[in-house]
Amino acid sequence: MTAETLTYAIGDIHGCADLLDALLERIDAHAAGRTRKLVFLGDYIDRGPDSARVIETLRKLQWREPDDVVCLMGNHEAMLLKTLQEPGALDHWRVNGGDATLTSFDAAGPEEIPGDVLDWIEGLPTLHSDDLRWYVHAGFRPDAEVPDPDPESRLWMREPFLSAEHDFGRHVVHGHTPQTRGGPELKRFRTNLDTGAVYGNALSAGVFSGQQGRPTEILSVPDR
């Protein structure tokens, strides 16, 4: 009999590399040798102190375990890419935490961020799925086909997704909208794992099994 694979979905990191290291250790201890998959929900950069090290950690994980580590794009990664494509986008990114990312890469501007890093970011998908769940950074439009084909919605959606209580056919696992009360937002049809790590709160992972769409457990560092 094949052992069940556990999936750990990790919320918005925003340059909090020490919390990411601690959460990965917590996940390894929880998995205790069982087969596991990691799904990162985007927003690895900006605001926090060490975006460069966060990306280095994620890329090493993917290199070691290419079939078991999924990194989705978040709106902050999209904002960085847009600075290289659209006049005027740089100021918008910098006011939303981009300066911290430039500092972490010792870069004067986004064009000085290493090309292999930018290539990795550009190649990030906006959606992942398994039999029971959709994994996306921000959400879906409730009135769109499922899964929502619009990349902008996947990266930026808040309302009406957050208040709709809509059944998308599979449980939706997302981040993007930080929770300020110390824990994730657990709803019937969706789970929000952005617990506001960069604002002094915990970094959280949902533990998902093949038995139900909703998480069976939440792991957070620091413990909440």
Length of the chain: 224
Average pLDDT (1-26) is 92
Q: Which pLDDT value is given to residue 181?
A: 79
Asked if residue 165 has pLDDT above 70, the reply is yes
Instruction: pLDDT band for 2, please (50, 70, 90 cuts).
Output: low
Q: How confident is the model at residue 1 (pLDDT cuts 50, 70, 90)?
A: very low
Inter-residue contact 147 to 136 (CB < 8 Å): yes
DSSP 147-189: S---HHHHHH--TTHHHH----SSEEEE-SS---SSS-EE-SS
Give the mean model confidence (pLDDT) for residues 35-56.
Answer: 97
The CB density around residue 33, as the number of other CB atoms within 10 Å, is 7
- The arithmetic mean of pLDDT across residues 16-42, rounded, is 97
Question: Which pLDDT score, from 0 to 100, does residue 123 have?
Answer: 98
Q: Is the pTM of this model over 0.85?
A: yes
Cα gap 218→221, rounded to integer Å:
10
Element (H, E) at 76: helix 75-83
